[in-house]
Amino acid sequence: MARHVLLTGATDGIGLAMARRLEAEGAVLTLVGRRPLEALDEVLFTPTTYCRADLSLPDAASRVVTFLEDQGRPPIDLLVHNAGVGWYGAAEAEDAARIRTTLDVNLWAPVALTHALLPHLAEPTATIVFVSSVLADLPAPEIACYAASKAALDGFARSLRVELAGRARVVAVHPGGTATAMHEKAGVPAAQRERFRFPSADRVAARILRHAERGRRAPTVGAGNAVARFLGRHATGPLDWAMRRGRK
Ligand SMILES: NC(=O)c1ccc[n+]([C@@H]2O[C@H](COP(=O)([O-])OP(=O)(O)OC[C@H]3O[C@@H](n4cnc5c(N)ncnc54)[C@H](OP(=O)(O)O)[C@@H]3O)[C@@H](O)[C@H]2O)c1
């Protein structure tokens, strides 16, 4: 039987690439995004597959649950918390509303949505994937709140993995830089974006889905990113020193 996948942040970047791949493999999809359905021209998005919910708003989780119930969707085999936002700039310059939105979309929404969707999971075989970031384990100047939100998300996943043992697998996957519109949306200056040489959203999407299949606890996408995460956790002093020097 086709598996039912619920995916947030399905309208762009890595999420859209995952949605395309999952559709090609015949999955039943529930795709969550904030854009109106009329603005989405892919055949993927239909009134039965697309749930419009702004994850920065407190009613987002209940909107998703209502959608599932109204559409009579089957239990969820794979739940992917992928939606994410960030803002680029010095921590002292970031305004309160932006900080709030970053924490709401990247942390509050996956926590609230997990809570609301637990009764809808296909236990005991379901998998919950949190799309985190290598920045959860690294100093991230100019994008500190984003990195903090991902570190907190890792903390939630770590505990949930133990709580849900025997009911669902919990995977917190850590991509590094990926060629999506996220950096532009976050306000990273064009000159800086042009220096990035990142893998495509599709390549990273494929790796995330593979990690979801394998069910390892906290995998990293890409060998270089795995080294960076290791240094972030085990060589904090030298890493801080090197990064401070690099900024001079
Ligand atoms: N790109 C990277 O370098 C990178 C690196 C590590 C981790 N990640 C993580 O990977 C995930 C996907 O990022 P991406 O690069 O694919 O970014 P993206 O292209 O900007 O896609 C993000 C998705 O989240 C959705 N979203 C944002 N705010 C939302 C809200 N309030 N309500 C509902 N949906 C919302 C976006 O909707 P709209 O289409 O309306 O904007 C979009 O569908 C994120 O969790 C990100 O933190 C990305």
* Ligand 1 center–CA 76 separation, angstroms: 21
Enumerate residues lining ligand 1, CB below 6 A.
9, 11-15, 33-35, 54-56, 82-85, 105, 131, 133, 175-178, 180-182, 185, 201
Separation of alpha carbons 213 and 129, rounded Å? 10
Q: Which atom of ligand 1 is nearest to the CA of 11?
A: 43
To the query of whether residue 146 is one of the catalytic residues in this protein, the response is yes
Q: How many Å lie between the centroid of ligand 1 and the Cα of residue 161?
A: 24
Which residues in the chain show pLDDT less than 70? none
Can you give the residue ranges of every domain in the chain? 4-222
User: Would you say 175 and 131 are in contact if contact means Cβ atoms under 8 Å apart?
Assistant: yes
Rounded distance from Cα 90 to ligand 1 centre (Å): 21
The pLDDT score that the predictor gives to residue 246 is 86
CATH classification for the domain delimited by 4-222, as one of 3.40.50.1370, 1.10.1510.10, 3.30.1540.10, 3.40.50.720: 3.40.50.720
pLDDT of res. 248: 79
Pocket test for ligand 1, best of 8, 30, 32, 34 (most atoms within 8 A of CB): 34
Select which of 146, 157, 169, 176 is catalytic: 146
In the reported structure, the alpha carbon of residue 248 is separated from the centroid of ligand 1 by a whole-number distance in angstroms of 31
